[in-house]
Structure 1
Amino acid sequence: MDSMDVAVVGLGLAGAASARALSRRGRSVTVFEAFAPGHRNGSSHGSARIFRRGYLDPFYIELTGRARTLWHQVEAESGERLLTVTGGLDHGSAREPARLVELLREHGVAAELWTAGEAAAHRPGVVFDGPVVFDPECGVLDPERTIAALLALSGARVHYETPVRRLEPDGHGVLLHTDEGVRHARTVVVAAGGWTVPLLPDLAGLLPLTVGQQQAFYFRPGPGRPWPTLVHDSDDGDLIYALPEGPLMKIGEHSPGTPTTAEARDFVVDPAARERVTAYVARWLPGLDPVPAGETSCLYTWVREEDFVIDRSGDIIVCSACSGHGAKFTPLLGELVADLADGGPPLPRFAFRS
């Protein structure tokens, strides 16, 4: 049996980034994707995710800076515009605006702290009830365009509609069992999102991942200036995000979502979530038509600390990077996987849990 160098299982953002980073280090990459191109079964479909620097954890602010540099590098190499800067606003007492601005400035971000009145003058379509952080580096990234650009840069061979059913380490690499037969790879990268734990039952105890179905809703803005991204940690305890996607604003709740599995999800939008988000728009975003113009669902693969899992067991590298906020780190995730493939250690925060 011929042995491939590196097999990547899953062609979402993390899988595509891994393919590109590994190929840059001289590795030959083959990708196995369970579905057809452009499918909507995972977490990487659509054309809009938030890029932001605003974390209350310095660890993630530092990582977003590294990721931002890599985004520009991928854009330069591919000739594609993948990240559109819009500026972003964070508000709500739980966002700790004064501390957030201080942390951002410590990391070189020219963030500003506005009063509610100043913010309303800049963005009259939003209601503010306290201090607001303006982050000029926030923007919107395009997942599907990014996957295509990363894949083209990688030169990887892709097997679409080829689900990997089982992985079997054999002492010289890993056997990949598919419906078309068994293949062998010296190293396997599992970037399969909600399918990760079922594919790696022997590592389940080290992978504290839960899978949930979330949804996002689209609202039509009135006339006026372009909208920024928004993150609001309201006094009601709901963390709401909003970002422009085409002519609409995409709005959703940041939480694990309704428990499910990657295989069992029903794609049915939760009516209670629709009601909550619509009520939120009516109260806090008067610049939008409060009647949803569209809706969608996706999978959240959640780690309880909202961190990621990027670690290695033998010849298998796991890259489960989501918790609802992984997209902005895409090109950096690939580099972290490539570091592991080169024999480096994982970042402690992303190592397997016991």
Structure 2
Amino acid sequence: MQVDYVVAGLGALGSAAAYELAGRGFSVVGLERFELGHTNGASHDTSRILRHSYHTPAYVRLTQDAYADWARLERASGRRLVTKVGGLDLFPSQAAIPPSDYLRSLTEVGIDHDVLDPGEVAVRWPQFRLADDVMALHQRDAAIVPAGLGTRTMQEQATKLGADLRPHSPVTGVDDLGEGGIAVATGVGTIRCRGLVVCADAWVNDVVGHLGVRVPVEVTLEQVTYFRPAKPARFAPERMPLWIWMDDPSYYGFPSYGEATIKAAQDCGGPVVDPDGRTSERDPAMEQRLAAFVGDLLPGSGPPVRSSRCQYTLTPDRDFVIAPVPGHETVVVGLGAAHGFKFAPTFGRLLSDLVVDGGTATDLTDFRLDRPALTDPAYAAHWLV
């Protein structure tokens, strides 16, 4: 079989790439090792954070693209996907994540933001109980985007545009044929293509490994928990912002979204796992630790009613990969490093630029595959952002 492009992995990033490539008029086959919409990775469940506040100007600029690309997807699908609720980054005294990086980056890019003390937060959002030493960074455009629905929307749009999305189709081989393109082997035959986009997340090395390449990633098993407040109206999206606790451990949470619960989780709080052998059972200790924190931060948030698991696929520096494979430039890799969902439509556009044109107008230097964090065995991993 001959097509223009193959996409390996149809979570959010791969679905975005399939959608973008099909929208440019190319023939596309998308390969997913599980069923579409599966819960084995990190593109399922309800909500994800979309925000401008980030630790470098490059990331802040990329968030501007993300808002524009989500809006473009909304127009194409006729579906509302972005719910603006505002966001609070909460920095206690001596926070492990420096607030100065965020303030400087937002200021340099020209994003409006406010710095609030606990008293000001209490007046505007009495749901929160903050200690006197906490600084709050408020960004009014922070929003919620739907995980499962957003991924499904991109898959639906890709299919409408002619993409052939195939569940239960793992990649079993990849050969770089030079001027002859790329040969992608599957269980039912080989597909020849001009280029391959790899968005296989925790299984990235199962694909690029066929080219003698290994990306140093670590997979952790995380857990999100839903709490049921006695007065859910107090936590409604129009009355309460999303929030991130910018310390170690780091936590984050949402107002009520789609149901009368609020969702929260610890960032990078779970154990390292084998993605093919991990459990889906809830961890009571993780749930209790989170419940204690949320109960103190948000009095009245209520008891936990359910927890679910997801995976983080982490690069050592927590930065993305949006890059061609060195020596095999018609194979490009996208990795979100467990904070990429907010950028999913942008990933699709940038990866398409790389595989079709060999480059893009956006500076992706920080996200290359040959950067020190991915090539130096002595690089010390750090995941707080």
The TM tier, using the shorter chain, reads over 0.9
Q: 1:98 to 1:263 in 2, by over 3 A?
A: closer
Once the two structures are TM-superposed, the CA of residue 107 in structure 1 deviates from its matched residue by 2.5
1:217-256 correspondence to structure 2 within 5 Å: 217-223=225-231, 224-226=234-236, 227-234=240-247, 237-244=248-255, 245-246=257-258, 247-255=260-268
Which of residues 163, 174, 196 is equivalent to 1:167? 174
The answer to whether structure 1 residue 182 and structure 2 residue 190 are counterparts is yes
Deviation digits for residues 123-168 of structure 1, max 9, x if unmatched? 2221212221111111110122222322333321111222222223
- SS for the counterpart of 2:296 is helix
Paired with 2:269 and 2:213, the residues of 1 have a C-alpha distance of: 20
The answer to whether structure 1 residue 120 and structure 2 residue 99 are counterparts is no
- SS for the counterpart of 2:195 is strand
The answer to whether structure 1 residue 350 and structure 2 residue 367 are counterparts is yes
Once the two structures are TM-superposed, the CA of residue 277 in structure 1 deviates from its matched residue by 0.5
Q: Is the Cα contact below 8 Å between 2:11 and 2:37 reproduced in 1?
A: no
1:19-168 correspondence to structure 2 within 5 Å: 19-93=18-92, 94=95, 95-97=97-99, 100-129=102-131, 130-154=134-158, 155=161, 156-168=163-175
Structure 2 length normalisation: TM-score? 0.85
Correspondence for 2:290: 277
Q: Is the Cα contact below 8 Å between 2:57 and 2:108 reproduced in 1?
A: no
Which aligned runs of 4 or more in structure 1 are off by greater than 6 angstroms?
none
Q: Is the Cα contact below 8 Å between 2:249 and 2:269 reproduced in 1?
A: no
Paired with 1:11 and 1:30, the residues of 2 have a C-alpha distance of: 10
Which of residues 299, 304, 307 is equivalent to 2:316? 304
Paired with 1:139 and 1:152, the residues of 2 have a C-alpha distance of: 23
Q: Which moved more, 1:170-179 or 1:33-42?
A: 170-179
Q: Is the Cα contact below 8 Å between 2:56 and 2:102 reproduced in 1?
A: no
Correspondence for 2:205: 197
Cα RMSD between the aligned structures?
2.0
- SS for the counterpart of 1:54 is coil
- SS for the counterpart of 2:6 is strand
Q: Which moved more, 1:206-215 or 1:219-228?
A: 219-228
Q: Is the Cα contact below 8 Å between 2:127 and 2:235 reproduced in 1?
A: no
Correspondence for 2:222: 214
Structure 1 length normalisation: TM-score? 0.92
The answer to whether structure 1 residue 10 and structure 2 residue 9 are counterparts is yes
Deviation digits for residues 171-190 of structure 1, max 9, x if unmatched? 32222222222222221111
Deviation digits for residues 234-267 of structure 1, max 9, x if unmatched? 4xx2110101342221111111731112211111
Paired with 2:308 and 2:290, the residues of 1 have a C-alpha distance of: 13
Once the two structures are TM-superposed, the CA of residue 27 in structure 1 deviates from its matched residue by 2.0
Structure 2 alignment gaps of length 5 or more: 376-385
**Partner AA of 2:49 in structure 1:** I
Q: Is the Cα contact below 8 Å between 1:32 and 1:158 reproduced in 2?
A: yes
- SS for the counterpart of 2:59 is helix
Paired with 1:292 and 1:186, the residues of 2 have a C-alpha distance of: 49
Q: Is the Cα contact below 8 Å between 1:127 and 1:286 reproduced in 2?
A: yes
**Partner AA of 2:241 in structure 1:** P
Q: 1:200 to 1:141 in 2, by over 3 A?
A: same
- SS for the counterpart of 1:4 is coil
Paired with 1:304 and 1:61, the residues of 2 have a C-alpha distance of: 21
Deviation digits for residues 80-116 of structure 1, max 9, x if unmatched? 1111111111112325456634532443322111110
Paired with 1:199 and 1:318, the residues of 2 have a C-alpha distance of: 10
**Partner AA of 2:167 in structure 1:** Y
Paired with 2:265 and 2:42, the residues of 1 have a C-alpha distance of: 14
- Number of aligned residues: 349
Q: Is the Cα contact below 8 Å between 2:106 and 2:112 reproduced in 1?
A: yes
Q: Is the Cα contact below 8 Å between 2:208 and 2:214 reproduced in 1?
A: no
Paired with 1:50 and 1:350, the residues of 2 have a C-alpha distance of: 21
Which of residues 310, 315, 333 is equivalent to 1:318? 333
**Partner AA of 1:292 in structure 2:** P
Paired with 1:292 and 1:74, the residues of 2 have a C-alpha distance of: 34
Paired with 1:256 and 1:311, the residues of 2 have a C-alpha distance of: 28
- SS for the counterpart of 1:63 is helix
